[in-house]
A and B are shown apart, each in its own frame.
Chain A
């Protein structure tokens, strides 16, 4: 194996919590070296993770109301899509998205170390 086949950045899955630690249609805040990350759970028990900063004025998305696959920022009511972190049109901008996997009820996030 040549050196180039090694990933340039180490990818690791970080355990955040259990699914039931997050209220349904709610979120928890995960403290990380990359700043606060909002971990959401919707009505279908899907879990999503976004930087806890609205692309508008940096409001904490974790504190918003979750509906469908969206969260409404508590600061100025922007709607942010949970799958990709992007604002619903006509608003523009995206919050950073972190990949999530759920295994045996445990939530893991991929944070580039």
Chain B
């Protein structure tokens, strides 16, 4: 099939990101041509400020060099300004006469700096701050001249002023409004910002209107004159008073423009063959000037260009971070508030900390942070997810406590860390390495940082820190993903919830069926999505969907835990942590017979045999004659118990037998993640039931049930679910809760994550208050587990031989 022709006008970040997304989705659909007015390939415009400040070089901020276009087979015309779109003939025409025909055109013409219409605005030494040429001109001027005036006290103006100051100039910022950055900050925050910038040596003239730029005899700027008649000496003037969407080309082609090129939610202009993204567009009446929304637009646009036809751009919540070294500032959403909103404010003027959250109907709608921006990403996430904050309102202002997290010295503030300090304790990644990778590789998302540095890619406990580092390095370009719509993996845009719903509603019974029905982009998925799909299928359609061993992680395929040397570990099940002389004797014999090097007690009251050769596994299982402990699976692991009323002088309930009953009821239960239970016979809680997925504590009058505790990466105390009187009730309530988790949680969510999202009130409604629903859940669980065999004894009897036998030459 002949390829369609796509021509892109404008070679900036929004446009090229759209092409990248498009090539990911449909690498061979289009023959692509790109026109760029600048002589450079695609660079990271938001890092111009560090270049100006001398912290980075131009080479550091290139995102896609010329080779990238060549490798992707894209025809690139640099330094050619497009002057005409002939919509009749479907042709793009550049100023030098170069023409390109299109089937689809993509306008990414960006924006132009607004130049104040005052006399002298065209003098030599008057610049805007927009591209590499402007930046270089400022760097040159800083080397030769002394006095700089920056007109405009917004984000860009302050970054320009800071950069020029760092290059040794004497800088004054002139601002028309009452306070700095009035579109992002309230007065208190702006005053604090102004003080810290003054401490760095910048000077400010607020409420000051420029009336004229005065030139000298040499034709170069000499001074700036203000409305009150006063003057300020200047041999460099930078105008940073705003940007205007660049709609000139679109308007000349007759496309409808109003404060930008008007597009719909699929980024289509009024000509259906022409799309537009980036700063040049007006979407629902809003033109965006920050990078993050542009990337979101690019993703949607690429999806439609690729003929996938899903995804709508529905506008963005903006957040800002100032990229001035040493100043921490964050702002998002509606930070001023009004009659319908309430504020929570923390203000420590001496300590230099100001935090304000604006709340409406128990949801965060905006906020400002100065001095301590550690929790900015978290607040933004709550804002975007429209999360109900009623339950956490009393400690919301103190941030997301990372105190329970292990692996990075209990730190929760990335800004205060030095470059040598370790951020990711699993992979040994320091802060400096992360910052370097973000800058040098041009990374914008958490996923990209994970791929390149491995930080936060293992246990994930340092994710908050990595997000902070990302946010402070790329500024407002970083937006945490909307967690509610997070895609399963790179093979699809569908969320976990979408996939589960489709499997249920359309009775999909195999992985290939799901992938076909939901238009997976890869032929057979990847190591992330296949195990998830396999779990969703077998948990939604037990006894109907077939389990696919090749889509299970090796531990679940081999029914043992792989170790670093490729050997395996074997943990036989000991019901409720109880064992016998006969079992221990068999274990000892197995250890001798198969020369098993290490025998260890686990934290879950069992015995771990480590260093077993894979080919020995079936025989080891046969000789042990004990059931699988599922220590290798996303499934019920252990039910830890204390000895209870049978022996203990304090015990009030028979916790050991309660634990055994629970374990016999629930073993072989696959789940989104591992599941651990514990039963204590009295409130002294020797079985540590309050850090388990389900914890049961015996009291004189019955049993208390706790759920969603966790003892690992993030220590989390289980929450009280309810109190029941009989052992049968414990089985039913615990089973019903776990079945709800099995049906609704995302794959790899522990119960703590699931309950945090669903809310304990919801769990109580479904499991405690609604008796019919509880019984139905418990019945579904029993049905799923019925007839499920012990995988070890099946394999000891010869099943799945190929998994364990070696081939010989």
Contacts and interface: CB of A to CB of B under 8 A. Distances in A.
26 contacts: A22-B802, A24-B550, A25-B524, A25-B551, A28-B802, A30-B806, A30-B808, A31-B806, A33-B809, A42-B524, A43-B523, A57-B564, A59-B566, A60-B566, A63-B554, A66-B550, A67-B522, A67-B524, A67-B527, A70-B526, A72-B527, A74-B553, A74-B562, A75-B564, A77-B527, A90-B452
A70 B808 CA distance: 24
B807 interface: yes
B550 A26 contact: yes
Contact of B807 (A21, A67, A79): A21
8 smallest A-B Cβ distances: which pairs? A72-B527, A63-B554, A65-B527, A25-B550, A30-B807, A60-B566, A74-B554, A67-B524
Contacts of A29: 806-807
A94 interface: no
Interface string B528-550: 00110000000000000000011
B523 A31 contact: no
Interface of B: 441, 451-452, 454, 457-458, 522-527, 530-531, 549-551, 553-554, 558, 562, 564, 566, 802, 806-809
Interface in A48-84: 57, 59-60, 63-68, 70, 72, 74-77, 79
Given A59-B566, A90-B451, A32 B523 contact: no
B527 A31 contact: no
A102 interface: no
Contacts of B566: 59-60, 63
Nearest to A28: B807
Contacts of A65: 526-527, 530-531, 550-551, 553-554
A33 B562 CA distance: 24
Contacts of A77: 457, 527
B772 to A, nearest CB: 40
Interface in A98-113: 111
Contacts of B441: 90
A78 B457 CA distance: 11
A40 to B, nearest CB: 11
Contacts of A64: 527, 554
A39 interface: yes
Contacts of A22: 802
B522 A30 contact: no
A24 B524 CA distance: 11
B550 A31 contact: no
B527 A39 contact: no
Given A32-B809, A65-B526, 12 more contacts: A28-B802, A31-B809, A43-B524, A57-B564, A60-B562, A68-B522, A68-B523, A70-B526, A74-B562, A76-B458, A79-B526, A111-B809
* Most B-side CB within 10 Å, residue of A21, A32, A33, A60: A60
A39 B550 contact: no
A21 B805 CA distance: 11
Nearest to A41: B550
Contacts of A74: 553-554, 562
* Most A-side CB within 10 Å, residue of B549, B550, B564: B550
* Most B-side CB within 10 Å, residue of A63, A66, A77: A63
A65 B454 CA distance: 20
A93 interface: no
Nearest to A73: B527
A76 B562 CA distance: 12
A25 to B, nearest CB: 4
B554 A17 contact: no
A37 to B, nearest CB: 9
A42 B523 CA distance: 11
A67 to B, nearest CB: 5
A1 B564 CA distance: 51
B551 A31 contact: no
A68 B360 CA distance: 48
A36 to B, nearest CB: 8
A57 B454 CA distance: 14
Contacts of B809: 14, 16, 30-33, 111
A23 B802 contact: yes
A31 B808 contact: yes
Contacts of A63: 554, 558, 562, 566
A110 to B, nearest CB: 12
Contacts of B527: 64-65, 67, 72, 77, 79
Contacts of A67: 522-527, 530
* Most B-side CB within 10 Å, residue of A25, A39, A72: A25
